[in-house]
Amino acid sequence: MNESLPVAIIGAGRIGRQHAKWYQAAGCRVVGFLGSSEESVGRTQAALHEMLGVTIPGYTDFERLISETRPVAVSVCSPHALHCQHVLQAVDAGVAILCEKPLAWDEEKPLAEILLDARRMVAAAEKKQVLLAMNAQYVAGLPAYMEWYAQVRGPLDRPSRYEAVMQSRGRGGGAEYRDIWIDLGSHPLSLIVKWSPGVHIEPGSIHCVLRRKEVVADFRCVAANGNVCDCSIRLGNVPEGKLERRFGVNGFLLDYEGRNNPEGVFHTYLSHGGEEREYPDLLLMSIEAFVRAVRGEGEPLISGAEGLRNLELQVEILEHAVVEQGAAD
């Protein structure tokens, strides 16, 4: 790469530390991070030092972080409810932004207001011509999926059925009902937005059930080119045991697992029919694409506009969701 890119992490908790690790692997300099308190800054600084081998300055004031460390890009990994505030601050500062999914979500606000926040974020970035991207890293696996699909079935013409199963530990094992959809829904929807550009959901087709540890969403989506695709998403919170994660179209599904390779580096493993293939971590690939976009060498995996469409679908499906009778007991 060219000159090392200075980046900052807004909210360097669990996912923020992973962003920092992969920025360093991508040849960037992590010049600072934002924490919520002096205590959290101290803990995070120690964790980052152990992970990266360098001491990274921590701040509790956004403007001071930007003025003193002068990053050209930031990752917004703060709690969902702070995404809008931090993205707008970054836009005002003129720095490129990779925002964690969902683009915006404040559980204290009505769904309509959440969408207004996200639209403000995208409009502000467009007005100031600041790069805004969203991270939902499963999109990074699409080239591998398309290659594998073509090898087995030939080139993919049109997807007629989309399926995704995605489970996580979720908030320390405590995610339930709509929280599961908020935490995980962006991932499968990001694939739909990529597979079906200009997508909308066919009116009356949504059937979404919220259970205590599982969300099931079935609906029909229509792409801008008129292609119709039946979609089935199953999300779950599994406190222990093996996680199920798979996705694909037209009955051709790949299983996903993330784990360390023999050298101790976290990698992505996709499998089908007893065969397993190794790839770089999907988050690393998402960050590398973002870094190239910041340098003017390509596009991010998910633009701000695509992140907004993702959120609009997520909200629309949730608006039609029902809690399964007896599931709240």
Q: Tell whether the model's pLDDT for residue 10 goes beyond 90.
A: yes
Sheet of 6-10, strands arranged across: 58-59, 29-34, 6-10, 73-76, 96-100, 132-135
State the pLDDT at residue 328.
44
Averaged pLDDT for residues 158-185: 87
Domain boundaries, the chain: 6-135, 137-283+300-323
Q: How far apart are CA 115 and CA 118, in angstroms?
A: 5
Q: Tell whether the model's pLDDT for residue 144 goes beyond 50.
A: yes
Return the closest-CA partner of residue 91 out of 123, 69, 49.
123
Q: How far apart are CA 311 and CA 109, in angstroms?
A: 15
State the pLDDT at residue 240.
84
State the pLDDT at residue 241.
86
Q: Quickly count: other Cβ atoms within 10 Å of residue 225's Cβ.
A: 9
Mean pLDDT for all residues in the chain: 95
Structural tokens at position 314: 């997520």
85-132 residue pLDDT tens: 999 999 999 999 999 999 999 999 999 999 999 999 999 999 999 999
Burial label for 102, CB within 10 Å (0-12, 13-18, 19+), is buried
CA-to-CA separations, 224 to 133, 194, 263, in angstroms, rounded: 22, 12, 45
Q: Tell whether the model's pLDDT for residue 52 goes beyond 50.
A: yes
Q: Which pLDDT band, with edges at 50, 70 and 90, does 239 fall under?
A: confident
- For every residue of 66-130, which 3-state class applies, written as one string? HHHHCCCEEEECCCHHHHHHHHHHHHHHCCEEEEECCCCCCCCCCHHHHHHHHHHHHHHHHHHCC
- Choices 1.10.3470, 1.10.10, 3.30.450, 3.30.360: CATH for 137-283+300-323: 3.30.360
State the pLDDT at residue 329.
40
Q: How far apart are CA 6 and CA 218, in angstroms?
A: 43
Helix then strand then coil, in percent of the chain rounded to 5, is: 40, 25, 30
Q: Which pLDDT band, with edges at 50, 70 and 90, does 3 fall under?
A: confident
Q: Quickly count: other Cβ atoms within 10 Å of residue 122's Cβ.
A: 23
Q: How far apart are CA 52 and CA 20, in angstroms?
A: 8
Q: Tell whether the model's pLDDT for residue 170 goes beyond 70.
A: no
What is the gyration radius of the CA atoms in the chain, in angstroms? 20
* Cβ neighbours of residue 118 closer than 8 Å, sequence gap 6 or more: 84, 103, 104, 307, 308, 311
Question: How do strand 200-201 and strand 214-222 relate by DSSP bridges?
Answer: antiparallel
Structural tokens at position 81: 């409810």
270-288 residue pLDDT tens: 999 999 999 999 999 999 9
Identity (one letter) of the amino acid at 241?
G
Q: Are 212 and 219 in contact (CB under 8 A)?
A: no
The enclosing H or E element of 143 equals: helix 142-153
State the pLDDT at residue 1.
43
185-223 residue pLDDT tens: 999 999 999 999 999 999 999 999 999 999 999 999 999
State the pLDDT at residue 175.
77
Sole residue written with tokens 């079906």:
196
Q: Which region holds residue 294: left if phi is over 0, alpha if psi is between -120 and 50, else beta?
A: alpha
State the pLDDT at residue 2.
54
Q: Which fold has domain 6-135?
A: Rossmann fold (3.40.50)
Which percentage of the chain shows pLDDT scores above 70? 96
Averaged pLDDT for residues 33-61: 95
Q: How far apart are CA 83 and CA 120, in angstroms?
A: 12
The model carries a pTM of: 0.95
| Beta-bridge partner residues of 258 | 268
| Beta-bridge partner residues of 233 | 164, 217
State the pLDDT at residue 325.
61
